[in-house]
Amino acid sequence: MSEARTAIVRSWLAEPLPRDVVAALERLAASDDVRRVAVMPDVHLAADVCVGTVVATGSTLYPNAVGGDIGCGVAAMAFDGEAAVLDDERAAARVLAGLYRAIPFARHGRKASGRLPPDLDARPLNAPSLEARKGEASFQVGTLGSGNHFVELQADEEGRLWLMLHSGSRGIGQAIRDHHLASCTTGRRGLRFLEAASPEGQAYLGDVGWALEYAEANRRALVDAVLDVVERALGVRGDESSRVSCNHNHVRRESHGGEDLWVHRKGAMSAARGEPGLLPGSMGTRSFHVEGRGCEEALSSSAHGAGRRLSRTDARRTLSARDVARELRRVFYDHRRAASLREEAPSAYKDVDDVLRAQHELVRVVRRLRPLLSFKGS
């Protein structure tokens, strides 16, 4: 373990940081073996390590700098049709009804077993308790989850119809994080870590790799389900050549500034030079396809979305169903769920345009998309 020191911190901010976020970042920067920290403009408070943070260490792994939804990310695909096919409210209603039938929020029924990809089913996780979770994991492939996970149909600047969706590793990712936290050492600033070269560190990395593949398989299953719904409802098909997928919760070995580091991203995308990325806004605002600029000071990273402005608790306390309806007046969604969507209202999030302006040296915008229809599990 290296001697006590404070890491180099670089920030790309859309607005001044709240005191609790500053305190959390200062704690992180002073933690064991933390060499560099990059703060993205969508940063906001979360347990131990803020969302929107990139952490580089020399030899240690911080499970809470990845988070529980390991491999959570975004996928997008264009359709071979125009966005105008959704101008008819009846068409939008058919899509929403089809999504409710095809995509559970939590789990598939018992008759839908065997969904776990064979290679993941055959590859053991590093504890019997985690192996025992594979059965439940098989029923969660192709499920959306709650919170800010979504399926959205969008229009690009040329009027083409696009899909964008956001989901991750569901319950198995949380179980992996929680299991390995129990093996961690508590550092001088209270954050828990593993030595990467230790058996415990290697076990964690192996299980993270499993969860990353599981999350990608989940997104593939979701995309396939949405494509089927949209083709049946609207008569347009997906363009496989346009598919993009990226994740924003991971840890991996990377070289930066001539130094090999463990780079943890929690709510941050990799944005190496030329690397494609997807940056969603809120339910009522634009989303973006981007390309990384490979900014070394930012550890070749980018914001992963708009980022929360209000905590979920504050959003439920200050926003009403009427606010949701007003803010989503140009977007098709299930109006019966307006009250439960308060914490996902656009005003609960930062302005995504401000986020992009703050990180103009991190990514280049490739495509701008506006939301047409949103399907969410909050």
How far apart CA 331 and CA 153 sit, in angstroms, is: 10
> Is the Cβ–Cβ distance between 145 and 377 less than 8 Å?
yes
Give helix 199-234 / helix 89-102 axis angle, nearest 10°. 140
In which order are the strands placed within the sheet that holds 60-61?
Answer: 60-61, 192-195, 185-186
The closest of 36, 72, 41, 42 to 54, measured between CA atoms, is: 36
> Is the Cβ–Cβ distance between 314 and 200 less than 8 Å?
no
Coil, strand or helix at 174: helix
Give helix 199-234 / helix 170-181 axis angle, nearest 10°. 170
How far apart CA 352 and CA 372 sit, in angstroms, is: 17
- Tell me if residue 289 is catalytic: no
The closest of 376, 146, 160 to 284, measured between CA atoms, is: 376
> Is the Cβ–Cβ distance between 275 and 265 less than 8 Å?
no
How far apart CA 67 and CA 33 sit, in angstroms, is: 19
Paired residues of 254 in beta bridges:
261
Catalytic residue, from 149, 179, 250, 304: name it.
Answer: 304
By DSSP bridging, strand 259-266 and strand 363-376 are unpaired
Residue type, 182: A
Residue 175 contacts by C-beta under 8 Å, 6 or more apart in sequence? 129, 130, 133
> Is the Cβ–Cβ distance between 344 and 148 less than 8 Å?
yes
Here the tokens at position 305 are 């979305």
Count of beta carbons in the 10 Å neighbourhood of residue 130: 21
Here the tokens at position 115 are 């969904």
Catalytic residues: 304
